[in-house]
Structure 1
Amino acid sequence: MINPNPRRSDEPIWWSLFGAGGTWFAMITPVTILVLGILMPLGVFDMGTFNFLRAHAFASSFIGGLFLIASIALPMWHAMHRVHHGMHDLKFHTGLIGKIACYVIAAIVSVLAIVFIFLL
């Protein structure tokens, strides 16, 4: 028999953050690493383009702040969702406490990212 009053699940919230973090980590992070970690040290870009003042101005701008916050927070939500479900797959059944711990860690890192970006 079908339950006429099903319980609402909170999984769509966590799956959306998981998906957003995975997408960001798969598409944006490699380009950031390529440009800042490989091409810039190889001299493909002029070093004056990425001086401290320009980097600070970008990080202090609204778009730059959102970019940095998303670069930190979204992959953290993705990772902690993976940790939560990975523990279950490895037979560490932590239940609600494990779920809360994982998502609280992701929330704390997200809040810290927001605070530190706004303090720039």
Structure 2
Amino acid sequence: MINQNPKRSDEPVWWGLFGAGGTWFAMITPVTVLVLGILVPMGIISPEAMSYERVADFATSIIGALFIIATLALPMWHAMHRLHHGMHDLKIHAGVAGKIACYFFAGLISALSVIFIFML
């Protein structure tokens, strides 16, 4: 018999953040590392393009602020969701406390990234 009143699950929220974080980390982070870690130090991109004034202007714009927040927060949600489910796969059953700890840490990093941006 089909349960007419199934229990609501919060998993779609966590899986959504997991997917967004994984996608961001797979597609945006390598380009960011390429530009900031390889092309600028090699001089292929002018170091003047990364001057303090230009970077500060970018970070304080709405697009730049959202980019920085997403770069810090989304991969953290992905990592904490993976850690939570990885512990279960390793037979470490932390239960609700483990879930709360993982998602609290991801939420803390997200909140700190927003606070950091607004302090600029």
2:111 alignment counterpart: 111
Output aligned runs, 1:6-85, within 5 Å. Answer: 6-85=6-85
- C-alpha root-mean-square deviation of aligned residues, in Å? 0.5
SS in 1 for 2:57: helix
Gaps of 5+ in 1: none
SS in 2 for 1:7: coil
Normalised by the length of structure 2, the TM-score is 0.98
1:4 alignment counterpart: 4
SS in 2 for 1:4: coil
Q: What letter matches 2:79 in structure 1?
A: A
In structure 2, C-alpha distance between the alignment counterparts of 1:5 and 1:47, rounded to whole Å? 61
**Offset at 1:42?**
0.7
Q: What letter matches 1:109 in structure 2?
A: I
Output aligned runs, 1:92-107, within 5 Å. Answer: 92-107=92-107
Q: Deviations over 1:76-97 (max 9, x none)?
A: 0000000000000111000111
Q: What letter matches 1:91 in structure 2?
A: K
**Offset at 1:15?**
0.3
**Offset at 1:59?**
0.5
SS in 1 for 2:4: coil
Q: State the number of aligned residues.
A: 120
**Offset at 1:46?**
1.0
In structure 1, C-alpha distance between the alignment counterparts of 2:47 and 2:107, rounded to whole Å? 35
**Offset at 1:51?**
0.7
Identity of aligned residues (%): 66
**Offset at 1:72?**
0.2
Moved >2 Å (runs of 4+): none
